[in-house]
A and B are shown apart, each in its own frame.
Chain A
Amino acid sequence: MSFELILGAWVAAGLTLFILTFLYQDNPLFKLAEHLYVGVSVGYAIVKTYDTVLVRLIYEPMLKPGFTQGEWAKGDWSLLIPLTIGALMLARYAPKTAWMSRIAFAFVVGVGSGLAIPRVVSSYILKQIEDTVRPLLMLGADGGVSFTASLANPASNLNSIVLLVGVVSVLFYFFFSVEHTGPGRVVARTGIVFLMISFGAAFGYTVMARMSLLIGRLTDLIEFAQPKYGGATWWLLALTIVTLIVFHLRRGRTEPRQ
């Protein structure tokens, strides 16, 4: 096993344990790891943005000698336009030129809004309503009608009715311009019941997600506890516990007696 891999295992196990110390209490080990996390993430973002945007999207299509691909031949000078707009965005840092950044934001927001409107209408409104207002009876090949009542099949007629009731009652619940009295109150209460069931399902799934993340980290710690990594997890766990005890004792000595 290479030295880089073993060193990496020790660093990864150490940083994982430092973050986990927060469960006991906030402490310098956690703060160190937290600031390192932010620093490394930001540094990574900067490097990736430089490589992707400046090199691959701007430099190579515009200036790299002999670079051709498809319809973007060498020297695509139209990329000066987005380069200028991007530069205008950065003008917000100087108070005298900050107004120029409005032009850049206006362009980005205008295009974004224009692109989004018809696509959102088509995808989220029309398609979703289309699936909600399904036929309540099935038409057979012989011209007869049937009603499927299987709860196990989400596409059955019974479930289509339940779905329709759910969508309408929840939409009505959020319609606060009309007072929820009389029959409206019944519809709104139905909506609340549907909402509570959905939130319960969301909570259950969220628990599953969070536990999965913990399982992932503990799996790595178990891996790094193996002898081939020098028992990194064990040694660093001992070091972390000793360090926490030292911090605890020092805090006890420096804090005034009550």
Chain B
Amino acid sequence: MNFFRRQLPLLITFVTGVLFALQYYVPHPASEAMLTSVTKWLQIIGGFALVLGVTSLFHLHAVKIRRKEPGWGYSFVLYAGIIGTIVVGLWHNGKETVDNVTTSFGWIYNFMMVPLQGTMFAILAFFIASAAYRSFRARSPEAAVLLIAAIIVMMGRVPLGEYLIPLSGDVTQWILNVLNASVRRAILIGISLGAIALSLKIIFGVERAYLGGGKE
């Protein structure tokens, strides 16, 4: 039984990892057919993975209601939102429009989900301004460099800035295309090397945190 709990998952990771790493270099039709099938399977399995996130949210708010924790009434609002959207959505087979006519599901999406999500992120504009005023200080030469670069880019990316200081647009382009590109490239190379190292550790069973659930 220990084999199924401990060794089998590690063996599956190793075999699939090596197989699909080598598949990239093997253009044989059988190899390509295997790639087509398995990536199709991953699309389906990805859908099941979404269920995991949803159920933990359900559980969190069910506990809140059961224990009558502060703000537990809002959990009812959350459940009402979930159930109402599901009922309406399934009624219209998950379609926001049918023959170019907006369904009730589409109405919920356009007039509830879009404004709610949009505004949640829009209020960040206020916080970034407040944070810039309170914390963006040239405490050191490096901070001063950061400050000056930020001001140049903010000027150069808007028509009014380019109108007031015409050179700001060109300097911004140079900063983005050369200085910024070099830094991002270095960071990209570094992160990629780290990601490859992690993937190799996972394939060879050194890193096992992804397995999670159940006793070993």
**A and B interact:** yes
Whether B133 is near chain A, meaning CB under 8 Å from some CB there, is no
**Which of B10, B47, B150, B213 is in CB contact (< 8 Å) with A49?**
B47
**Which of B42, B79, B105, B196 is in CB contact (< 8 Å) with A117?**
B196
Please determine whether B153 and A200 come into contact, CB atoms closer than 8 angstroms: yes
Docked Cα-Cα span, A13 to B115, in Å, equals 8
Residues in chain B near residue A107, CB distance under 8 A: 12-13, 16, 45
B19 closest partner in A (C-beta)? A114
- 24 sampled A-B residue pairs with Cβ under 8 A: A12-B111, A15-B115, A16-B115, A19-B123, A35-B74, A39-B81, A43-B83, A53-B43, A87-B48, A92-B213, A106-B8, A107-B16, A113-B202, A114-B16, A120-B196, A124-B188, A163-B178, A163-B181, A166-B183, A168-B186, A192-B142, A207-B150, A213-B125, A220-B118
Docked Cα-Cα span, A108 to B212, in Å, equals 13
Please determine whether B119 and A16 come into contact, CB atoms closer than 8 angstroms: yes
B186 closest partner in A (C-beta)? A170
Docked Cα-Cα span, A89 to B107, in Å, equals 33
Q: Which 7 pairs of residues, A with B, have the shortest CB-CB distance?
A: A39-B81, A166-B182, A43-B85, A200-B149, A114-B20, A204-B153, A51-B94
Q: Kindly name the residue among A12, A37, A113, A154 whose own CB sees the greatest number of chain B CB atoms within 10 A.
A: A113
Residues in chain B near residue A163, CB distance under 8 A: 178, 181-182, 185
Whether A141 is near chain B, meaning CB under 8 Å from some CB there, is no
Q: Mark B163-185, 1 if CB is under 8 A from A, else 0.
A: 00000001011111111111111
**Which of B18, B120, B125 is in CB contact (< 8 Å) with A210?**
B125
Please determine whether A204 and B9 come into contact, CB atoms closer than 8 angstroms: no
Please determine whether A103 and B78 come into contact, CB atoms closer than 8 angstroms: no
Known: A38-B81, A43-B84. A167 touches B186 (CB 8 A): yes
Whether B49 is near chain A, meaning CB under 8 Å from some CB there, is yes
What bracket does the count of chain A residues touching chain B fall in?
35 or more
Residues in chain B near residue A114, CB distance under 8 A: 16-21, 23, 199, 203
Known: A36-B81, A81-B41, A114-B21. A44 touches B113 (CB 8 A): yes
Do most interface residues of chain A lie in helix, strand or loop, or is the interface mixed?
helix
Chain B contributes a number of interface residues (CB within 8 A of A) equal to 128
Docked Cα-Cα span, A147 to B132, in Å, equals 42
Please determine whether A152 and B174 come into contact, CB atoms closer than 8 angstroms: yes
Residues in chain A near residue B157, CB distance under 8 A: 204-205, 208
Whether B206 is near chain A, meaning CB under 8 Å from some CB there, is no
Docked Cα-Cα span, A210 to B121, in Å, equals 8
**Which of B108, B151, B152 is in CB contact (< 8 Å) with A40?**
B108
Residues in chain B near residue A33, CB distance under 8 A: 116
B92 closest partner in A (C-beta)? A47
**Which of B5, B108, B113, B114 is in CB contact (< 8 Å) with A102?**
B5
Docked Cα-Cα span, A15 to B109, in Å, equals 13
B181 closest partner in A (C-beta)? A163
* Least distance between A208 CB and chain B CB atoms (Å): 6
**Which of B79, B146, B189 is in CB contact (< 8 Å) with A124?**
B189
Whether B63 is near chain A, meaning CB under 8 Å from some CB there, is no
Please determine whether B212 and A105 come into contact, CB atoms closer than 8 angstroms: yes
